[in-house]
Amino acid sequence: MSDLAFLTALKPSTELGAWPLAESPAVYVLVPPLLTLPTRLSEFVIVARNPRTNHVDIFPCDENGRIEEWEPLAEFAGADHMQALRACGYEVVVLDVA
**Predicted confidence (pLDDT) per residue in 39-91, tens digit:** 778 999 999 998 888 899 999 999 999 999 988 999 999 889 999 999 999 99
CA dist., res. 67 & res. 63, Å (int): 10
| 23: pLDDT strictly greater than 80 | no
| 24: pLDDT strictly greater than 70 | yes
The domain segmentation of the chain, as residue ranges, is: 3-93
pLDDT of residue 21: 65
Q: How many CB atoms are closer than 10 A to CB 44?
A: 21
Over residues 2-19, the mean pLDDT reads 90
DSSP 8-state class, residue 65: S
Residue 62 contacts by C-beta under 8 Å, 6 or more apart in sequence? Answer: 44, 68
pLDDT of residue 86: 94
| 98: pLDDT strictly greater than 60 | no
pLDDT of residue 1: 46
